[in-house]
Structure 1
Amino acid sequence: MKHLSADRRMIKIAMAAPYLARSEEQALAQAWKDNDDQGARNKIAMAHMRLVISMAGKFRNFGLPMNDLVQEGHIGLLEAAARFEPSREVRFSTYATWWIRASMQDYVLRNWSIVRGGTSSAQKALFFNLRRLRARLAQGDRQLTAQAMHEEIAGALGVSLADVQTMDARLSGNDASLQAPISSGDSDSGERLDLLASDTPLPDEQVSDIIDTERRRDWLNHALGHLNDREMKIIRARRLSDDSATLEELGVDLGISKERVRQIETRALEKLKMALVAKAPALAVMH
């Protein structure tokens, strides 16, 4: 309640703050720029807080707290005051409006849904104008299908039809927790998470894969036992290593020609194949 009272008090003070004449506004802005006068900056900001409150009312339909919108708008207002250039002879309210709106829009996009939406200028325009354009088209004399309405909105905002359809679906439904219970009759029968399809293999498939992998490893280790030391070294370097050695590199290491290395590798692979087929006859069919 204290927080709520403080917010109401701030709004009341803001609405009572006097308007600034153009000359006074320019003088305060110049004092802030030339002398880093924080009081001058704050006075400009406070005089325009009613602009923040007015704009916050335009974002109420997104279901976010009014007080939070005002606070976000105040941040944008202070940013505008810090960046304002009095030499351009533009009214501060005109300049600040863009910063206030941008700050509130960013807040809405961050908090309206737990699913992060697009942040490009086109996506923002779609998010904040879709409902308005849809309502305006629905009030016309034409009886538009959803497809035709989406096409007109896409053309008006310069975005793709798919973007309009996706955003319309997001705005039509609320977020739902995956841990929300699913009721069936008089008792809960699980959570929404239980209904999501899983891409992982079934438990029996996982166990089967583990058993098959272990069996193949045993077969390979048994077959490798039929190789001599030089054959083993070549097979490990050429076939069982992440960084496969070249025939030339092994030839230099073993003191033989690369052609001889190739011959030994071929013979070793034949010995492995024979040992594997003898251990598991089914492999003969596969090969």
Structure 2
Amino acid sequence: MMKNLGEYGKPASSGTSKEEKIRLIEKYSSLVKITAYRLAARLPSDHMVDDLISCGNIGLLEAIESFNPRLMIKFETFAKFRIRGAMLDEMRQRDWIPRSVRAKMREMDNLKKALSSKLSKIPDDKEMAAALEMSLEEYYEMIVYIQPAGMVSYDQMLGGMGDEKNLLDFLEDKSSPHPDFEIQIKELKKRIIEALEQLAQDEQMVMALYYYEGLTLKEIAEVLKVTESRVSQIHAKALLKLNWRLDAYRNDVEDLSAATLAKGD
């Protein structure tokens, strides 16, 4: 199972000494760099990494200054949210996503909305592929191609900011003071399970080994006796399938998270 990272700690602005701030900055500086490199990997040039790191450091400092322990979430979870948010804001301001990719994203979103209206439900992968007159394989290849830094991955759909499913870890905290939050999360978990069950067998296996057992892609490749690049491909396709199927629920989670943070102020 996933490691229980982070601390509930108390970096609240009123009670955090200068020494404690320095300690937290040093402790989470690697988190800033990891996040920056992951985002930069999907950008057209790697020269933006330093800019992302600078923005991430500002986000980390803001997290240290504004963290409220009463929220009953781990500081690392909160910090990841602020770090990644600062980087994404910078990316949006500079419009780093290639124009051709952005146009394709818009086209896909419009098609998805049109099909949703026509079918009275969110279209599944087969319906999207059929509308595009593509095979499923061609459809997934196209989705992988247009996947920019802004595309949401599995952990982001669950509210986490890294490889760990941080929001789910938090939601499993029995001391959470918001029963309505827990009810909606149970529904979200149900939908996630349903979406996972619709994945191909090899995709389910990769997702389970990576997110629940904590194996690296290289370790999964050894278990499945395939190449690491093949595992990466399977993982990417599984994420994309989940992303489309859970699109309607992602907004609910974001609204719920915002409401919870507001209650803690």
Name which one, 1 or 2, has greater alpha-carbon Rg: 1
Structure with the larger RCO, 1 or 2 (CA within 8 Å, 6+ apart): 2
TM-score category (smaller protein): 0.3 to 0.5
Query: How high is the TM-score relative to the length of structure 1?
Result: 0.32
Query: How high is the TM-score relative to the length of structure 2?
Result: 0.34
